[in-house]
Every structure is written in structure tokens, then in C-alpha cells.
Amino acid sequence: MNFEDPDNPDPDQCRGENAIRPGKKDTQVQLVISLALGLSAFIAFCILRPRWKSLYAARKRHSNPHLGLPSLPDSFFGWIPVLYHITEQQVLSSAGLDAYVFLAFFKMSMRLFGSMFFFAAVVLEPINRHFIDNTKSSEIFLFRPYATDYSHELARRSVGMEKPDGDQDNSFNRNMGYLWSYLVFTYFFTGLTLFFMDRQTSKVIRVRQDYLGTQSTITDRTFRLSSIPEELRTKAAIKDLVQKLEIGKVESVTLCCNWTEIDKLMEERKTILAKLEETWSVYLARAPRGATESGPNGGGDDGFRGGASSAPEVVDEEAGESDHLLSGDETQPSERQRPRTRFWYGFLRLQSRETDAIDYYTEKLRRVDEKITAARKKKFEPVSLAFVTMDSIAACQMAIQALIDPHPGRLQTKPAPAPSDIVWKNTYATRFSRRIRSWTVTTFVAILSVVWLVPVAFLASVLSICTINQFLPSFGEWLKEHEIARTLVQTGLPTLVVSLLNVAVPYLYDYLSWHQGMLSQGDIALSAISKNFFFTFFNIFLIFTVFGAVTSILDVLRNSLKDTTYIAYTLARKIEELSVFYTNFIMLQGLGLFPFRLLEFGSVAQYPILRMGAKTPRDFAEMVQPPKFYYGFYLPTALLVFILCLVYSAIPGGYLVLALGLAYFSLGYFTYKYQLLYAMDQPQHATGGAWRIICYRIVLGLVVFQLTMSGYLALKKAYTVALLVGPLFLATLWYGWDFRKRVEPLTRFISLRSIERPPGEGGGESAIMDGDGAEAAEQREVLRRGSTVDEDREKGLRFVNPSLVAPLEQPWIYEDAPPPLVGSGAGSSPGNTPGRGTPTRGTGGIGGGSSNSSSSVSLGDTHIWRE
């Protein structure tokens, strides 16, 4: 194809497929931009890290000190060696299995692409330089695709024509013999990838089995029993059913019920509590003239995040706050005005009146507490889901991995999520409704994938020189004279916009995953990974390569129906055309944006807004909590980069992409290692389930790599060599199918031989010894030096809806957090708690100062408001 000259674009080629056209300085300019962004962010992080520890060491400051995580020095670069020497076992014991698996993918990628880079640079690239024009081997790859005329080949295939007799097979042309090296390296790189993946999979499985088999948590002994028939929906019936299986003793049964009423009341209470705290903060901020104001607590040693806001001092401490609030003294109200609010009542809530806001929300809180107390005493209708806790992990695993009932779809068992990981409102949703929600979200995601074609294809064409010359000719003429500016507009901006899409879109798909009806946050996290990868792979990769533009989608599909190899031809051609774009994309993601993730630029940018919006001590306390680390936001982009490195690995100049891939995964490993260990918390608990998702996506990447190489060789008219990629393609598909049968169950369950039984029960260490027994024993010794992070997280937890038993929080008024209401657990009466509505200095909240019920203040309808 005769590619357009960026300085003199051909109007006939100004279509979406020619949108991102490389120029001579595109990669150099992108490298300078990426290094400038990355180095500036990294230096800023090194400066701010010791000063803003409440942000950059938030997790370390809130985590258990017994986890043994080393403290990082405050020196400029001194933290790097300490972070480097943190072992995998320390990662496992302090951050958990999900963090270990996530970092294991980056570590495996570093080793894989380091090895591939060596062979591509030392063996394959010299072959290319010898047989291909030296000016086209690496220079043209970076600055402009090969000027190979593929147009006639694609035109011939698009109309379904067969190969003409004069079209000679170059497979056995001695001058084209170097094409066999591409076939060899396609096989070699595929085998190398599967070798590294298989070895890392074996290690992940071994670590996972040892980790889960040695710990003892309520989650490991509990399984989820679903599709329970109505006649068995009692705790006694379920317990009797399981114990008759003779697999172990049942310790407890949590039968899920329709808790809609109590959950809604708790949500209502949360809203009222926030309103009351905000009202108090407004009132206390209106200090009387001459009173001493105490500003917000600095929150420690840095000042990035403020602590809880301290309350202003009361002028007359002996009189007490209640005397000023409720006595007939007219002096205090004139000095500190109490906030007012308007509420609506009567028929259709058409009448309103204004009243004291503190008393209004205090009374509303008291009334909803009474409703919660009454609701907690009710019996709710059971549903078809239960959590059954056994006396041992082995008994639980036998129940999970066995068929319980001979009727299809009844009494199905699955591993239970951690109690803190359960989305309780979905436990009492019917299976039909959850399935409908799941299919609805899936359909919506599919529709979104088509909708995304419009903005993605628009971005792929609007920033091209062709489009600019058409709509802004004067600006296009100016760009012709300024090559660096043209590079920024034509290649830099699309790369940046695609990167921003990768940042923004995951929030939407994470929101959709939360509304899909899944029972645990871990399942939601894995679903978000799959959805975001689908967007990244389909819209960012396939649309930019195979289709190029919305208008060409139908053409590609129509031609592929006539000739099944058309997609392979198109993929190979577009991969070569878009080499600069994807090179710049990897460069920007790795060198430019990883330091910004380390800097937590989003948290820093949001802080002034959150600080201005924070009013209550609870708001300030939430600001100093560690940010949340969501794997669905970061893993899909890493998987796309992995696939891009595979796709470009064996074509001329591919060693440069492999070098950038090595840099990407190296920087990503240390960035995420720091964040997972020191800065951010993981709300989900998926027990390393992301590894099977990673492996399936790697297999997909290998399939795309092989299709690309087959099409690339066919475009070189080496048809025999192209056909010889076929067996490798089939072998890769077989490997993926075999992985599903052989490996996937070990990423979901705990093998019985991996379970460490207490002495006296039989088995013990000898039960898990095999060929890797010494290494397994060593790992167990390291793991059991202390409790795992999951054991610490689950201490004292049980499978019960928090709405039924959670203590009711008092309003948080002053700096220190108040204790929960006395006796506010299940079956208590929070309405009888003394001192309601009377802030007491030192407790941080309302009440708690007096145990004499006569000191409580009645705020009934006649005193405050009427509904």
C-alpha cells in the first residue's frame, strides 16, 4: 500500500482506517513527553512521600503491626531498595492472596518479555537487518510502516478471487528464506509464553493451596447452599440434611431471609445520622463572640489530610450544653444561632413548617431506632440460600466438591465468600431476579460495546491530518510547517485520549457489575475485570485494527464471509500500520502514567474538593482512610499491553515493543507493590481467582498473535509458511480447553491433601508432601509464623446480616469517635438510651454521659414537630 505522506496527504486515503498515520518524529516526541511526565511525577512522589504519610503510607498506618511489613526510610530514594527486598511471602502475609496473584502476573511478564527481548534482539533482528533493507528494519517500524504494497492482495481477497497462477508461493524462494524465521519464532515465542504461564500457574496454585489449607477462618469452613426447596428452609432441617451426609459436623447454619425491611431502615438511619451530624457541625461552627475556636486536627505528621474537626469550646462548661439548648436562657441563642430546617407533612406532604434542625433530626433518629429495634425482633420469610459452617475445612471442601441432591438445580453448593465480602441485599433476591439482572447488564454491556464504536472511530479519524485539512485547512497548513506540533495532534492526542478512556470507562463497568446481582464483592471484582478487558480488547484493539472505522465494519464482515482468511490479512496489515500508535500507547502507559499512579494524582487533585466539602468529624475520618485498590481498574490495561507485546514480538522491529513491554511491567510491578503494601486497601476477597482470568486472556493473546503472523506471512505470499501456523493455533486452543479441565478447579477449591489438620486428626504435614514437599513445608513454616491477613480480617466475624446485629452508632460530634449506643445490638431498645440529644464533651457524640434515665430529655411531638 502506498502510504500517505503526512506532509501531503492523499484525499482519497482520508478515511477512518488511515486515521492515525505515523510521522518521522512521532516516537521521539512521545518518548520525551512520557519521560517528562514520568520523571516529574516520580520526583514529586519522592518529595511528598515522607511529608504526606497519611496518604502515601495510609495502609501501613492502619494495618496490623504484627504483619511484619518493614517501614520505609524517609530519604529521597532510600525506600526503593527496601521495597525491592520485600519477599513474596511478605506480600502474601501482609496483603493477601489477591495481591500476590496480581503481582505474580507482572513478575511473570517481566521474565517472559525479558527473555523474548533477548532472542528478538540478538537472533531475529539481525536476520531482518540482513535480509531486509537496513533503512526499513527498525527505523521504519518506529517512524512509518513498511511500504509494502498490500492493496492488490486485499482487493483480490475482498472480492473472493482465488490466487492467480502467476502468484508464486514465496515460501521456497531462497531470497525470501528469512520468512521461515518468523514461523520458527512464532512457535518459539508461543512455547515460551506457555512455559512461563504454566510454571507460574503451578506456583500460584501451590501457594494458594498452602495458604488456604493452613489458615483457619470461618470462611474456609463455610459453604453456600442455594436452591433450597421450601420444605427444607429451616436451620434444623438444613443441619439435619448435611449431617446425614456423614462428611462432618455442622457448627452453625445461617438461613438467609427477606431482610428488605430492616436493610431499608438501616439505610434510612444512615442518612438521618449524616444529616444530624452535619447540622451539629453547622451549629458548633457558629461560635459565640469571644469564644475560643479549636481548628481541625492536623491528622499527624504531614497535614495532607486533616483529622476530625474539633468542636469549639463552650463558654460555660459547668452549665453544660443541655442547659443552653433547652433552658429558657435567652442569652445563648442570641450568641449562637441554632440551625433551622423545613419539613413537609399532611395530605400529600403539601404542608410545611420550619423547626429546629437539631431537635428535628434527633427525633427522627430516635423514631427510626425504635423501628429498627422492633424489626430486629421479627421473623422474616426465609429464602432459598443458606451459609453452612462445618467443624473442619475438609468437611466443607467435601460438601463443595460433591453433588448433594439427585434433582437438577437443587441444593447446589459453592464456596462461601467472607462475611465482610457478602452483598447481603442480593442474598434474599430470587434466583430469577438475579439472573434477569445479570442478563440485562450483559446485554447492556454488549450494546455499549457497539455504542463505543462511534466515539472510538471518531477519535480515530478526527485528529488525522486528512480531517484537519478538510475542516481546518489553515490549521493543517500550519501543522505541515511544524512537525512536532503535527506529531502531538496526530499521534500524541489519540494516544492520550485512548489512555483517558481506559481510566474513565472502568468506573462505568464497575458500577454495572455492582448491579448485576452477585453475592460477593470478590465476584463483582472479577466480573469488572472481565467487562473492562472486553472493552479494552474489543473497542481499543479490534476496532483500531481490524475495522478501523464504523463505516468499514460491514465491509470487513462481508468480506470475511466470502473469505475466512480476510480478517487475518486485515489484522496483519493494520497491526503493521498502527505500530507507532501502539508503541506510543505502551510508552505513555508505562513511562508516563505509572509514576502518576504512584503519586496518586487523583487523590491529590480531589483532596481540596473533599476538604472543602468535609463538615463533620466522620467526613474528616473518612478522608484519612486508605484509598481502595480495584483490580478491575488496572488489570485489563496490563492484559492489553501483554497481548500487544505478543502480537508485535516476531515482526520486524518487535524487539523495541518488547523492550517497552519489559519497562511497562517492571515499573508496574514496583508501583502496584508499593500501593498494595503501603498505600491502598483491597475491599474485595477473591482468593486469587483473577489468575484464571489472566491465563485465559493470555491464551487469547496467543491466538491473536498466531492469526497476525499467519496473515503477515500470507501478505508476503509465503502461503505454505502461513499454513504451518495452523497446527500451533489448534494446539493453543487445545491448551486452553485442557486448562479449564486440569487447572481451573484448583483455582476455585482447596484440595483435601492441602488441608493441614490439627495433630490427632490424622494427616498433618505428611498429608501434603509430594514431589515439592520440602518447598511446600518451607512455605507453610513461613506462612504460619503468624496469622494471615485474612485471619486477622475475619476475627470475630460470623455469617449474619449486619443490619440485624450491628450496634447503632451515635452521632459523631466532637473529635473522638463516640461509642455505640448502650445495648443497641439485636433485641435491644436504642430508644431507651439515656441522654439522647445531649452532647457530652469527651464522648464525641450524643449521650453516654449519664446513666440516670431521669436526665434524658423527651423530644416528643408536642415539643418539636408533628408528622
pLDDT band at residue 159, thresholds of 50, 70 and 90?
very low
Residue 17 CB contacts under 8 Å (≥ 6 apart), including other chains: 548, 549, 552, 574
Checking if the pLDDT of 398 tops 50, the result is yes
Residue among 403, 17, 22, 393 at smallest CA distance from 209? 393
Q: Cα(803)–Cα(456) distance, rounded to whole angstroms?
A: 44
**Lowest mean per-residue pLDDT among 82-86, 363-367, 781-785, 863-867:** 863-867
Q: How far is CA 33 from CA 30, 40, 288, 591, 592, in A?
A: 5, 11, 55, 9, 8
The tally of CA atoms less than 13 A away on the side-chain side of residue 3 is 21
Query: What pLDDT score does 743 carry?
Result: 92
Lowest-confidence region among 398-402, 452-456, 526-530, 737-741: 452-456
Rounded to 10 degrees, the C-alpha dihedral 41/42/44/45 comes to: 120
CA distance 833 to 821: 7
Residue type (1 letter), 153: E
Indicate if the pLDDT at residue 560 is higher than 80: no
pLDDT tens string 283-316: 888 756 444 444 333 344 444 554 444 433 333 3
Convert the pLDDT of each residue in 712-736 to its tens digit: 888 888 889 999 999 999 999 999 9
* pLDDT at 803 (0 to 100): 93
pLDDT value of residue 409: 86
Instruction: Say if CB 789 and CB 96 are below 8 A apart.
Output: yes
CB 19 within 8 A of CB 463: yes
Residue 769 above 60 pLDDT? no
pLDDT of residue 565: 65
Q: What is the pLDDT of residue 175?
A: 81
Distance CA 829, CA 856 (A): 15
Q: Which tens digit of pLDDT belongs to each residue from 735-765?
A: 999 999 999 999 988 888 888 765 544 444 4
- How far apart CA 490 and CA 468 sit, in angstroms, is 10
In terms of DSSP bridges, do strands 351-356 and 382-390 run parallel, antiparallel, or are they unpaired? Answer: unpaired
Give bridge partners of residue 214 from the DSSP assignment. none
Q: Which of 129-133, 247-251, 769-773, 861-865 has the highest mean pLDDT?
A: 247-251
The whole-chain average pLDDT of the chain stands at 77
* 566-606 pLDDT, tens digit each: 667 777 777 877 788 888 889 989 999 899 999 888 888 88
Query: What pLDDT is attached to residue 296?
Result: 36
* Range name among 17-21, 111-115, 292-296, 559-563 with the lowest pLDDT average: 292-296
Asked if 213 contacts 750 with a C-beta cutoff of 8 angstroms, the reply is yes
Span 236-258, average pLDDT? 93
Q: Please give the average per-residue pLDDT across 412-419, as a whole number.
A: 92
The region of weakest confidence among 72-86, 488-502, 527-541 is 488-502
Q: What is the pTM of this model?
A: 0.81
Share of the chain above pLDDT 70, in %: 73
Q: How far apart are CA 638 and CA 184, in angstroms?
A: 27
Residue 155 pLDDT > 60: no
Helix spans in 463-565 (H): 465-471, 473-481, 483-487, 493-514, 521-535, 550-562
Helical axes 690-715 vs 97-119, angle rounded to 10° = 20
Q: For the segment 814-830, what is each residue's pLDDT rounded down to a tens digit?
A: 888 888 876 666 544 33
- Residue 9 pLDDT more than 70? no
CB 815 within 8 A of CB 793: no
620 pLDDT tier (thresholds 50, 70, 90) = confident
Q: What is the mean pLDDT of residues 493-512?
A: 82
Give the C-alpha separation, 473 to 281, whole Å: 58
Closest CA to 138 of 129, 130, 147: 129
User: CA-CA distance, 744 to 692, in Å (whole number)?
Assistant: 7
Distance CA 251, CA 798 (A): 12
Total count of residues recorded for the chain: 867
**130 pLDDT band (50/70/90 cuts)?**
confident
Cα separation, 137 vs 652, in Å, equals 6
pLDDT of residue 23: 52
pLDDT of 624 reads: 79
Give the pLDDT of residue 112: 96
Question: Any idea where the domains of the chain sit in the sequence?
Answer: 11-209+432-743, 220-259+380-416, 262-378+807-855
CA distance 229 to 138: 67
| CA 241 – CA 255 distance, rounded (Å) | 14
* pLDDT for residue 561: 55
* Of the candidates 489, 461, 454, the residue with the CA atom closest to the CA atom of residue 475: 489
Report the CATH fold assignment for 220-259+380-416.
Alpha-Beta Plaits (3.30.70)
Lowest mean pLDDT among 48-57, 198-207, 699-708: 48-57
Q: Which grid cell sits at 450?
A: 457497539
Gyration radius (Cα) of the chain, Å: 32
Report the pLDDT averaged over residues 649-659.
91
More confident residue, 622 or 641: 641
Query: What pLDDT does 557 receive?
Result: 58
pLDDT at residue 25, rounded to an integer? 67
Q: How far apart are CA 513 and CA 525, in angstroms?
A: 8
User: How much of the chain exceeds pLDDT 90, in percent?
Assistant: 35
Q: How far apart are CA 519 and CA 525, in angstroms?
A: 11
Find the helix or strand (DSSP H, E) in which 382 lies: strand 382-390
Q: Using CA atoms, how far apart are residues 463 and 451, in angstroms rounded to an integer?
A: 20
> Per DSSP, what are the bridge partners of residue 299?
none
Task: Write the CB contacts of 230 (distance below 8 Å, at least 6 apart in sequence).
Answer: none
pLDDT > 90? residue 24: no
Q: Please report, for residues 424, 425, 720, the alpha-carbon distance to residue 263 in angstroms, rounded to integers and kept in the order given.
A: 9, 8, 66
- Please give the full DSSP string across 510-528, using - where no structure is assigned: HHHHHTS--SBHHHHHHHH
- Predicted confidence (pLDDT) at residue 134 exceeds the cutoff of 70: no
- State the helix-helix crossing angle for 97-119 and 654-674, rounded to 10 degrees: 160
DSSP 218-261: TTTTEEEEES--GGG-SHHHHHHHHHTTTS--EEEEEEEE--HH
Alpha carbon distances (Å) from 523 to 415, 508, 689: 12, 17, 9
Question: Given this model, what pLDDT does residue 464 score?
Answer: 65
